[in-house]
Chain A
Amino acid sequence: MSEHDADQEVLRLQHLKKSYNVGKPTEVEVLHGLDLRLQRRDFAALIGASGSGKSTLLNLIGLLDKPTAGELFLLGEPTQDMDDARRTALRGSAIGFVFQFHHLIQAFSALENVLMPLMVATGKPTQDQLKRGRGLLAEVGLAGLDQRKPDQLSGGQQQRVAVARALITRPALLLADEPTGNLDSKSAAEVFELFRKFNREFGCAVLLVTHDPRLSDQCDRTVTLVDGRIQSDTKKAAAAA
């Protein structure tokens, strides 16, 4: 973590609430006031049963959705009152997403998919950016496969392209939603190792949603969500040290 201060706050939730069907008889509160802090060094797992509000929380943190009440600070900036354009810009620059299904754009090559967050922000990629994209692909073990289309890659390879794409903007926070749920155990281990590596080398906070205990056990910190409340937030001794 040479370039970044490991203690820098990446994310802070203050009494974050989320309800659906607001104002209708079917109104239901899914998240009941969450408080949470993530620093750059954090490598955390967010676990919880189906329906506990994990995905909802992830969408809020990823600025894909807006909380009903409370405040969400991203890199110290309050986001509740931001307009759509600024949220989109911040989402593009500060957050990397890895979804359960790889979610690559079929019409584009592996390299173009990796560069997509840069291209939508600044247009045609520069030589520098192309080099960075190829470098990232090499780092995730896909050297030489730049020009392959997603359907010419295996499931594990596709997910690694998605990881590279999430990291191309050097985000402060990597959000992963069941990133290994669709992979065999060998590919899953490889992808997990990548997260580890980037957390260590780039100081990119990782928040990993999973209900696989084998995966969460390997994280430094485990946040448990039960019925829309944080039930526990434990750090491993090794990570705390």
Chain B
Amino acid sequence: MPMWIEWTIATKFLREGKSQSALILIGIAVGVAVIVFLTALITGLQGNIIERTLGTQAHIKVQPTDEANRILTPTDGSVQLVLENKRAQRLRSINNWQQVRDVLDTLPQVKAVSPVISGPAFARRGEALESVALIGIDAVRYQRIIAIQDDVVAGVFRIGAGDTVIGKQLASDLGIRVGDKLRLDGGQGRESVVNVAGIFELGVRELDARYVYLDMKQTQSLLNLPGAATIIDVTVDDIFDAQAVAARIARLTGLKAESWMETNAQLMNALRSQSLSTQMISVFVALSVALGIASVLSVSVVQRTREIGILRAMGTTRQQMLRVFLVQGALFGLAGSLVGIFAGYGLVGAFNTFGPKLFYIPVSPWLLAAAALLATVTGIVSAAIPARRAAGLDPVEAIRHV
């Protein structure tokens, strides 16, 4: 076994200084437990927030690029002064959206693709008038993006052939119950009367007050965009890949692809700040653990100066002496972190069982493995200074040390 003698000396030294070893192990364990618990808590909290946010929206929205003015290039030798007003963006279809949909279906990270035609309209019942957003969907595909059928509070989720599903807020604003008729006005005389088959409640007021689900055909005729889709919704396997996948889609299709991270920039910012503060706390806890290990080993080097001198006289090399103390640091880190992982895991369990129960904190085995690895590496790094001192001792003086 390589480094057998280093391991042997290191473990014997640790066992000899039992109370010292025990104290620093407790210190490391507490530090690791704090890091594990805090990281799990924040990860769980963020996961929960993201899940709630993404429960009502796609990870990536693919839309036509904005229309821009095309300005004639000036002829040679002439100067051109241009006053340009940005163009108003009219509702437009994605060109060849069927092909785009099929291409997106083949992308490896993409989980679901759903073309949508969406535009403004009025919903009218009697004298009451509400502005709404028409959402024309392919129901099967759409439900893979947003599990809208689970949020239906009355009736059934059935669209097409004159059926619609509307939000709970809109229903109450217009005094509509399942089975009632609703008149939709897409402007310029394009009207149709639909039957309300279901009422949903997503829990987001804006959506519950404005969304009117129809099938694509009805929406296309109401918005006067025959055969069109204005948006393609996409979900991805790993939500944090959304930005990269969106960029890839944009390159691939020449369309505008916006990830949920861009549309929720403020939320992302908050999450990032939260992660940053967690990391800061972890770093400082790790730092104080490291200083603890370093100081215990420094004391140990002083206490064992004579023994180090004897070992050197017996033919122990400087490198071996160095490794003896690095191994001690590594063992401190590893053993302390194993205890700390159990403690942190227990804390999370206690939180899940006895805490406010607002959300459940999952603990990933990777977090535990990472914590053990981090603590071990910290142990080795913090042992470096005392280990160098031990290796650098002059054997003659070390042996005389009392």
- Taken together as a complex, chains A and B put the C-alpha atoms of A123 and B317 apart, in Å, by 13
* Chain B 305-324 residues near chain A, CB threshold 8 A: 306-307, 310-318, 320
**Inter-chain contact B315/A91, CB cutoff 8 Å:** yes
**Inter-chain contact A108/B12, CB cutoff 8 Å:** yes
**Inter-chain contact B310/A103, CB cutoff 8 Å:** yes
Select B316's contact among A65, A93, A107, A120, beta carbons within 8 Å: A120
Select A93's contact among B9, B15, B315, beta carbons within 8 Å: B315
- Taken together as a complex, chains A and B put the C-alpha atoms of A89 and B399 apart, in Å, by 18
* Chain A 127-170 residues near chain B, CB threshold 8 A: 165, 169
Q: A107 contacts which chain B residues (CB < 8 A)?
A: 9, 12-13, 15-16
Q: A121 contacts which chain B residues (CB < 8 A)?
A: 315
Select B314's contact among A59, A85, A106, A120, beta carbons within 8 Å: A120
- Taken together as a complex, chains A and B put the C-alpha atoms of A124 and B6 apart, in Å, by 11
Q: Given A64-B396, A108-B12, A119-B8, are A103 and B312 neighbors across the interface (CB < 8 Å)? A: no
Q: Is B4 an interface residue (CB 8 A)?
A: yes
- Taken together as a complex, chains A and B put the C-alpha atoms of A89 and B319 apart, in Å, by 12
Shortest distance between the CB of A63 and any CB in chain B (Å):
9
Q: B320 contacts which chain A residues (CB < 8 A)?
A: 120
Q: A106 contacts which chain B residues (CB < 8 A)?
A: 16, 307
Shortest distance between the CB of B312 and any CB in chain A (Å):
7
Shortest distance between the CB of A29 and any CB in chain B (Å):
18
Shortest distance between the CB of B149 and any CB in chain A (Å):
67
Q: Is B1 an interface residue (CB 8 A)?
A: yes
Q: Is B23 an interface residue (CB 8 A)?
A: no
- Taken together as a complex, chains A and B put the C-alpha atoms of A240 and B15 apart, in Å, by 52
**Inter-chain contact B315/A117, CB cutoff 8 Å:** yes
Q: Is B107 an interface residue (CB 8 A)?
A: no
- Taken together as a complex, chains A and B put the C-alpha atoms of A33 and B306 apart, in Å, by 30
Q: Is A116 an interface residue (CB 8 A)?
A: yes
Q: Which residue of A lies closest to B2 (CB)?
A: A123
Which of A85, A92, A107, A117 is packed against the most chain B CB atoms within 10 Å? A107
Interface size on B, residues (CB 8 A): 24
Shortest distance between the CB of A215 and any CB in chain B (Å):
21
Which of A89, A91, A105 is packed against the most chain B CB atoms within 10 Å? A105
- Taken together as a complex, chains A and B put the C-alpha atoms of A64 and B313 apart, in Å, by 7
Q: A91 contacts which chain B residues (CB < 8 A)?
A: 313, 315
Select B395's contact among A64, A89, A105, A108, beta carbons within 8 Å: A64
- Taken together as a complex, chains A and B put the C-alpha atoms of A206 and B295 apart, in Å, by 42
Chain A 59-77 per-residue mask, 1 if CB under 8 angstroms from chain B, else 0: 1001011000000000000
Interface of B is mostly: helix
- Taken together as a complex, chains A and B put the C-alpha atoms of A10 and B95 apart, in Å, by 95
Shortest distance between the CB of A130 and any CB in chain B (Å):
14
- Taken together as a complex, chains A and B put the C-alpha atoms of A93 and B314 apart, in Å, by 9
Q: A88 contacts which chain B residues (CB < 8 A)?
A: 312, 315-318
Q: Is A81 an interface residue (CB 8 A)?
A: no
**Inter-chain contact A120/B307, CB cutoff 8 Å:** no
Q: B1 contacts which chain A residues (CB < 8 A)?
A: 123-124
Q: B311 contacts which chain A residues (CB < 8 A)?
A: 105, 116, 120
* Chain A 93-129 residues near chain B, CB threshold 8 A: 93, 97, 99, 103-108, 116-117, 119-121, 123-124
Q: Which residue of A lies closest to B316 (CB)?
A: A120
- Taken together as a complex, chains A and B put the C-alpha atoms of A117 and B70 apart, in Å, by 87
Q: Is B299 an interface residue (CB 8 A)?
A: no
Select B5's contact among A85, A97, A99, A123, beta carbons within 8 Å: A123
Q: Is A84 an interface residue (CB 8 A)?
A: yes
Q: A64 contacts which chain B residues (CB < 8 A)?
A: 312-313, 395-396, 399
Q: Given A103-B399, A106-B307, A123-B1, are A117 and B314 neighbors across the interface (CB < 8 Å)? A: yes
Shortest distance between the CB of B98 and any CB in chain A (Å):
71
- Taken together as a complex, chains A and B put the C-alpha atoms of A190 and B399 apart, in Å, by 25
Q: A123 contacts which chain B residues (CB < 8 A)?
A: 1, 4-5
Shortest distance between the CB of A145 and any CB in chain B (Å):
19
**Inter-chain contact A92/B315, CB cutoff 8 Å:** yes
- Taken together as a complex, chains A and B put the C-alpha atoms of A89 and B316 apart, in Å, by 8
- Taken together as a complex, chains A and B put the C-alpha atoms of A107 and B308 apart, in Å, by 12
Shortest distance between the CB of B166 and any CB in chain A (Å):
78
Shortest distance between the CB of B328 and any CB in chain A (Å):
12
Q: A84 contacts which chain B residues (CB < 8 A)?
A: 317-318
- Taken together as a complex, chains A and B put the C-alpha atoms of A169 and B5 apart, in Å, by 17
- Taken together as a complex, chains A and B put the C-alpha atoms of A88 and B313 apart, in Å, by 8
- Taken together as a complex, chains A and B put the C-alpha atoms of A241 and B357 apart, in Å, by 96
Q: Which residue of A lies closest to B313 (CB)?
A: A97
**Inter-chain contact A105/B313, CB cutoff 8 Å:** no
Q: Given A103-B306, A105-B311, are A85 and B317 neighbors across the interface (CB < 8 Å)? A: yes
Shortest distance between the CB of B226 and any CB in chain A (Å):
83
Q: B4 contacts which chain A residues (CB < 8 A)?
A: 119, 123-124
Q: A124 contacts which chain B residues (CB < 8 A)?
A: 1, 4-5
**Inter-chain contact A165/B313, CB cutoff 8 Å:** no
- Taken together as a complex, chains A and B put the C-alpha atoms of A124 and B311 apart, in Å, by 16
Q: What are 23 A-to-B residue pairs whose CB atoms are below 8 Å?
A: A62-B313, A65-B396, A84-B318, A88-B317, A89-B317, A99-B310, A99-B399, A103-B399, A104-B310, A105-B12, A105-B311, A106-B16, A106-B307, A107-B15, A108-B12, A116-B314, A117-B314, A117-B315, A120-B315, A120-B317, A123-B1, A124-B5, A165-B314
Binding site for B on A (CB under 8 A): 59, 62, 64-65, 84-85, 88-89, 91-93, 97, 99, 103-108, 116-117, 119-121, 123-124, 165, 169
Binding site for A on B (CB under 8 A): 1, 4-5, 8-9, 12-13, 15-16, 306-307, 310-318, 320, 395-396, 399
Given A105-B12, A120-B317, 6 more pairs with CB closer than 8 A: A88-B315, A92-B316, A106-B307, A119-B5, A120-B314, A121-B315
Closest 7 CB pairs of A and B: A92-B315, A107-B12, A123-B4, A107-B16, A120-B316, A117-B314, A103-B310
